[in-house]
Chains A and B, each alone.
Chain A
Amino acid sequence: MSGQAPGGQGPRNQGSGGQGPAGQVDVRGPRFAAAVTAVVLAVTVLTGSVWLLLAQAIVFAIGAAAGVQAAPYGVLFRRLVRPRLGPATAWEDPQPPRFAQFVGLLVTGIGLILAAAGVSGAVVIFAGLALVAAVLNAAFGLCLGCELYLLGVRMRARA
């Protein structure tokens, strides 16, 4: 989606970390992305900027559609951050963080739609909700997807 080939890494990266188990990503990548997301959303709450919320929603959309490695913060991590860190020691499946991007897109998307409809305070409120979810995920390891996904499936099956 972003036009980045997986092999497009700087020369300093080669041989430093190598590749983990097939299909897995360096755990520090999604954590870095969650931290950047939290800062962007905190500034959105402070400024009430609809453009900043739109930018973050686009980042969420790319992450949900193309995976966390192709999303802007993932690319930023690989290009600028990881070459300065030691080799990766832990790996994780990229599917759960990708689902979290989808949850983020849902929350920020609702905020944007309400803001476009002229609801005052929608930007600040939904940026705040997304911020709570992002910090819970990044600092406490609480993934709202794990808590709510099953309840959603149960309700849908009953209907």
Chain B
Amino acid sequence: MMESASRDVRFLVGAGIITGLVRLPFLVDVSRALLLVGLLAVTVAIGTYWRSRQGGVREVLDGDVLTAAELGVPLGERATLLQFSSIACAPCRAADRILGEVASRDEGLTHVDLDAAQHLDLVRRLNVLRTPTVFVLDARGRVAHRFSGVPTPAGLATTLADVVRACEPSRS
């Protein structure tokens, strides 16, 4: 019963696809086909460019100093990972998982994930334009690095090492 029903469905889908393919050349003119090829080329160009910029890190010179009160949680002893997310953002969930894992392995690290829409004052101050954006704050709460997109584990590790090292001479 199930088998014959699914065979019928398969037959109908197959017949539909073949009929569509046979009729397509009569329905389509060349300019539309060229448009479709052009659209796909543009899509691949945008996608490739966007992907090459994912997880890119930039050093922030003269970064703002943020306090625990502004963040709503105490600063990390050695560094704080400040993440901005939005509700409808799948990469933000991935970033949250990665950063949460990194922070749970190191006691001196704190990870804060803020909803950007609820913290527009900080979003404006730090000029956050997209989510996820991740800032690495040093022990004093100074914004030291900025990641656009989901940070790569390697980039995150070198950045954290930098931030912690830069802070050490002043503490000793």
Contacts and interface: CB of A to CB of B under 8 A. Distances in A.
Contacts of B36: 42, 45-46, 128
Overall SS of chain B's interface: helix
A19 interface: no
A80 to B, nearest CB: 7
A124 B35 contact: yes
Contacts of B42: 132
B39 interface: yes
A142 interface: yes
Contacts of B32: 45-48, 124
B93 interface: yes
B74 to A, nearest CB: 26
B126 to A, nearest CB: 12
B129 A151 contact: yes
B24 to A, nearest CB: 7
B90 interface: yes
Contacts of B161: none
A5 interface: no
B35 A142 contact: no
Interface string A21-50: 000000000000000000000110111100
The 5 closest A-B pairs by CB, nearest first: A99-B88, A140-B47, A146-B89, A96-B90, A145-B88
22 contacts: A11-B2, A45-B39, A46-B27, A46-B28, A47-B27, A47-B28, A96-B90, A96-B93, A99-B87, A128-B36, A135-B47, A136-B50, A140-B50, A142-B47, A143-B90, A146-B90, A146-B91, A149-B86, A150-B123, A151-B129, A153-B86, A157-B120
B46 interface: yes
B121 to A, nearest CB: 10
A147 B130 contact: yes
A121 B56 CA distance: 39
Contacts of B90: 92-93, 96-97, 141, 143, 146
A136 B24 contact: no
B61 interface: no
A3 interface: no
B116 interface: yes
Which of A43, A48, A128 lies at the interface centre, i.e. has the most chain B CB atoms within 10 A of its CB? Answer: A128
B165 interface: no
A129 B161 CA distance: 43
A136 B46 contact: yes
Contact of A150 (B27, B40, B47, B128): B128
B88 A131 contact: no
A4 interface: no
Nearest to B25: A46
B86 A128 contact: no
Interface string B114-148: 00110010011000111110000000000000000
